[in-house]
Amino acid sequence: MAIEKKKPTLLQALTPLIALALLLSIGYGVFGLRAEILLLVATSVAGLIAIMLGYSYREIERGIIENMMKGMPAMLMRAQPIWTRRPSGASEKSCDA
């Protein structure tokens, strides 16, 4: 039994972004809650909307993995200088000793 997948309306597409903005501005800005928890709640909102549109958990998971794989090279290139940098104030001589 295949469930028909629907395209999201503009409101459904914007709901996770609106939820994210509200959660971070009120939850983090006003109440000082941890941002990680608020991001998970906003992600859950997006997941619930995807399920309502007819996507299975497996399809949602596959989409997340594919998009992370696309962005991983850029994240690694950005992170590489962090572990190859010398500490500030270190000279060539002090690193060789």
Give tens-digit pLDDT for 57-97: 999 999 999 999 998 888 887 776 655 666 666 555 555 54
CA 43 to chain centre: 8
The beta-carbon contacts of 9-15 under 8 Å, at least 24 apart in sequence, are 12/49, 12/52, 12/53, 15/45, 15/49
What are phi and psi for residue 29, nearest 5 degrees?
Answer: -70, -45
The Cα 37–Cα 27 span in angstroms is 10
For the whole prediction, is pTM greater than 0.85?
Answer: no
